[in-house]
Chains A and B, each alone.
Chain A
Amino acid sequence: MASTTVGLIYSASTGRLRWWVIPDDDSQIANFVSPNPGEAALIVSQAQYQAAANVAGLQALVNAVSGKAPDAEDRYVDIDAGGNIAAVSFACPNCGDVAPSGVSRVQHANAEPGGFFVGSSYFAGRSAGGSKERLKRRRFHRKTR
């Protein structure tokens, strides 16, 4: 049997594309229509897959079916014992995604490594107008006067 389809596996709760399957032949795709708990499958044609061009294109195919457009609601940061951001990931707890040991995982739309948490408050590693940047600007202005 020829391979004419591709299976796109996404989170049923968030709509985020998680992985996809390109079978050797179409008979294999049946194994993936009931994926892991929390996941759902979308079977598309090889032509649709190739037209999608990239992950964003595949996500758009999923969005059209799921009715969801995942933004940052499934973006998580892993916080170490010192309150530092150890990692950033897209995750779906309903699909069984768990944080690595030694960190706590919280949803956050824009926290980045280098930043830290004090309780539930996030602080970037350095503010955009930090002292070094100000100092550089001062020096620049002195030279150009």
Chain B
Amino acid sequence: MTVSAATAFTLGPGQATDNLTSLPNLNMKGLGRVGTAQTGYVDAVVSPIFVRTAASGVVSTGAIRLFLVAAEEIASPSRFTDGIDPDATTNQITSIGQATLANLVDTISGGQNGLQTATVYCFQGFSVKSVLGYTPTFWAPVIMNNSGAALSAVATQHYARYTLIT
């Protein structure tokens, strides 16, 4: 087996189009799809994803959520889970449904102290196969910001990468 170098998501922090940096409150966006049509792989491993909250406006009862969506083909309209388009730069929050919720990978809520301002939090890393039980042709992490304020506007304060096992 071969493990690829850690690879940035196409719409991840620091990319030409960046869906994570400054992600507005009450917005849900994908970090860009991973996968190639008719190409299998053993597994894909998502590194712990780091996000930093805003300097103000964060509510202690807030949360930031990480979902995983999957598809077998790239189509229009999107055939990713619940029709969410992880390659779109527009807010996908109204597309969320029970299928997406079933693959809620992790929730950051700040623990006993609640969510804090200007703080870096980390989602747990995971393998796509461990979450879904299979390796879809296309997949993407999707992040929902319920923190009460936009995420930090500094791209280098976030981190999102993955490796592909073939």
Contact = CB atoms under 8 A, between A and B. Distances in A.
A145 interface: no
Contacts of A86: 59, 61
Interface in B119-158: 130-133, 145-149
Contact of A83 (B98, B104, B105, B146): B146
B146 A135 contact: no
Interface in A58-113: 80-86, 102
Nearest to B129: A135
Q: How large is the interface on B (under 10, 10 to 19, 20 to 34, 35 or more residues)?
A: 20 to 34
B22 interface: no
Contacts of A124: 101
Contact of B148 (A81, A85, A126): A81
A87 B96 CA distance: 23
A37 interface: no
Interface residues of A, number: 23
Interface stretch (A6-14, A40-48, A115-123): A115-123
Contacts of B61: 80, 82, 84-86
Nearest to A133: B102
Given A80-B59, A80-B62, A118 B103 contact: no
Contacts of A114: 107
B148 A116 contact: no
Interface string B34-76: 0000000000000000000000010101110100100000000
B69 to A, nearest CB: 12
A133 B147 CA distance: 26
A19 to B, nearest CB: 27
Given A127-B98, A131-B131, A82 B146 contact: yes
B124 to A, nearest CB: 11
B1 to A, nearest CB: 21
Contacts of A85: 61
B25 interface: yes
A143 interface: no
B88 interface: no
10 smallest CB-CB distances across A and B, nearest first, come from A82-B146, A86-B61, A81-B148, A82-B62, A82-B148, A80-B59, A80-B61, A131-B131, A127-B102, A127-B101
27 contacts: A80-B148, A81-B57, A81-B148, A81-B149, A82-B25, A82-B26, A82-B59, A82-B61, A82-B63, A82-B147, A83-B26, A84-B62, A84-B146, A119-B94, A123-B101, A125-B107, A126-B101, A127-B102, A129-B102, A130-B101, A130-B103, A131-B103, A131-B104, A131-B105, A131-B131, A131-B133, A134-B133
